[in-house]
Amino acid sequence: MLKSARSRDTLQYKVEFPGERKIMAKVGLREWLALAPVFASGKLARYSDETGGPLGRFEADFCNKFNVQHALTMSSGTGALISALVAAGVGPGDEVLVPAYTWIATAAAPLAAGAVPVLVDIDHTLTMDPHDILRKITPQTKAIIPVHMSNMVCDMDSIMRIARENNLVVIEDACQAVGLQYKSKRVGTIGDCGAFSFNQFKNINCGEGGAIATNDARLFSRARMYHDIGSMFRGHLDNANEAPMLGINFKASQIQGAMLNVQLKKLDPMIARMRERYNVISDILGKSSMMMIGPHNDVDNAAGLHVIFETSEDAKRFAEENKRGVYRLFDSSRHVYTNWQPILQQRTGHPAMNPFHWTDRTIEYTPELCAQTLDILKRSCRISLGENYPVALVAHIARRMSRQARSNSDNLLYATI
């Protein structure tokens, strides 16, 4: 295992090209120092600081960086998705289109709002296939949740066109692509609302956290009321034209805000490193006839890398021989719809509160419902970009991967002669 020297800004990290469990954004000395004033003030809660505190500063800077009018920090990306759906008026009897490859929270969020998820195939970009979106729309469809998965951005031009033609709400799930761009716009700011995650494995890391972003003032006000059960006592003047709405509690703390202010400054430099290493690795692996570099909906801003093989066995072998930097997407079971048992079995906490009982038609999930997705995931491998490692080391590992794939192909050809 290779190890780096400890940097001044990093309390701990390992240089071992990890795969699925990779920590995207480092946390170090600057975050630690940012917490001290918050602890000293004793104003840790969201509304305990009349000036807005670190959370207020983070939201203002987030709006400025992302060129969006409203941002609201929350306790998690899941809470952001649920709040956005409720704020958009999604509820019982509605259907919400979600991709068959994503973290289960994307499919669970509609259920929390009283609606049901309808699964949509992905294409080779690992994001929602616009053609299957069209096939899955019914009179009950109310919203689409496109997921920018693993720093792979969706075809937002097509998705927005489909949504506008069918009067559908678009809630972007940008949890796994915070800060990425699609044709000069930050993902999460293109649809009606965007949801972001700041947990340990995301591009911005405060342990747990999330946010919504929107240019719709009414949607923002409703989301703010829903995410805070005490909202009616806060004196939000811009809620004056919106009737009070009962909410729950998805509020973030000033502790999270302090960390997020530091992390936001690190975001763009980290993405720049990711893009630089994407170019290096894709150029090396792209010369191999053993695999295809996964396509992007905006390759100029690419910051996520996967390769596609002709067979699932080729992909499986490639992942097994490059364990520290590669994993086969199908083996990331938590992100594959066939493993979402509570959703597939349509089980909720109480049968009387089961949204599947409130639909106008029977919703069924079968193992082969999204066969195209399963085929792509079985033949595809994600490759870590190693954005915290020297470019020379990243290039060396990429060349080793390419040689290994070529050697395996030569051996297989020899064995068949």
Alpha-carbon gap, residue 311 to 301, rounded angstroms: 28
Task: Indicate if the pLDDT at residue 13 is higher than 60.
Answer: no
Task: Indicate if the pLDDT at residue 14 is higher than 70.
Answer: no
Alpha-carbon gap, residue 52 to 55, rounded angstroms: 6
Alpha-carbon gap, residue 125 to 372, rounded angstroms: 12
| Bridging pattern class, strands 193-197 and 292-293 | unpaired
pLDDT digits (tens, 9 = 90+) for 42-73: 999 999 988 899 999 999 999 999 999 999 99
3-9 CB contacts, 8 Å cutoff, 24+ apart: 4/388, 4/389
Are 381 and 327 within 8 A, CB to CB?
yes
Task: Indicate if the pLDDT at residue 6 is higher than 70.
Answer: no
| Bridging pattern class, strands 141-144 and 169-173 | parallel
Closest by Cα among 95, 116, 120 to 356: 116
Task: Quote the tokens at residue 37.
Answer: 């004033």
Alpha-carbon gap, residue 94 to 4, rounded angstroms: 51
Residue owning tokens 């946390």 = 27
Q: Does residue 416 or residue 270 have the better pLDDT?
A: 270
pLDDT value at position 3?
35
Task: Tell me the pLDDT of the chain averaged across its residues.
Answer: 90
Alpha-carbon gap, residue 267 to 202, rounded angstroms: 11
Residue owning tokens 């761009």 = 181
Closest by Cα among 195, 135, 193 to 166: 135
pLDDT digits (tens, 9 = 90+) for 127-182: 999 999 999 999 999 999 999 999 999 999 999 999 999 999 999 999 999 999 99
For residue 368, the one-letter residue type is E
Alpha-carbon gap, residue 358 to 370, rounded angstroms: 24
Backbone phi and psi for residue 215, each to the nearest 5 degrees, phi listed first: -105, 5
Q: How confident is the model at residue 308 (pLDDT cuts 50, 70, 90)?
A: very high
Over residues 256-269, the mean pLDDT reads 97
Over residues 398-413, the mean pLDDT reads 72
pLDDT value at position 22?
56
Buried b (16+ CB within 10 A) or exposed e, 154-177: bbbebbbebbeeeebbbbbbbbbb
Over residues 16-40, the mean pLDDT reads 76
Over residues 226-234, the mean pLDDT reads 91
Are 209 and 218 within 8 A, CB to CB?
no
Percent of the chain with pLDDT over 90: 82
pLDDT digits (tens, 9 = 90+) for 322-337: 877 899 999 988 899 9
3-state secondary structure the chain: CCCCCCCCCCCCCCCCCCCCCCCCCCCCHHHHHHHHHHHHHCCCCCCCCCCCHHHHHHHHHHHHHHCCCEEEEECCHHHHHHHHHHHCCCCCCCEEEEECECCCHHHHHHHHCCCEEEEECECCCCCECHHHHHHHCCCCEEEECCECHHHCCCCHHHHHHHHHHCCCEEEEECCCCCCCEECCEECCCCCCEEEEECCCCCCCCCCCCEEEEECCHHHHHHHHHHCECCHHHCCCHHHCCCCCCCCCECECCHHHHHHHHHHHHHHHHHHHHHHHHHHHHHHHHCCCCCCEECCCCCHHHCCCCEEECCCHHHHHHHHHHCCCCEEEHHHCHHHEHHHCHHHHCCCCCCHHHCHHHCCCCCCCCCCCCCHHHHHHHHCEEEECCCCCCCHHHHHHHHHHHHHHHHHHHHHHHHHHC
pLDDT value at position 18?
38
- Is 29-262 in CATH node 3.40.50.720? no
pLDDT value at position 243?
86
Closest by Cα among 251, 233, 232 to 243: 232
Catalogue the active-site residues. Answer: 202
pLDDT value at position 414?
35
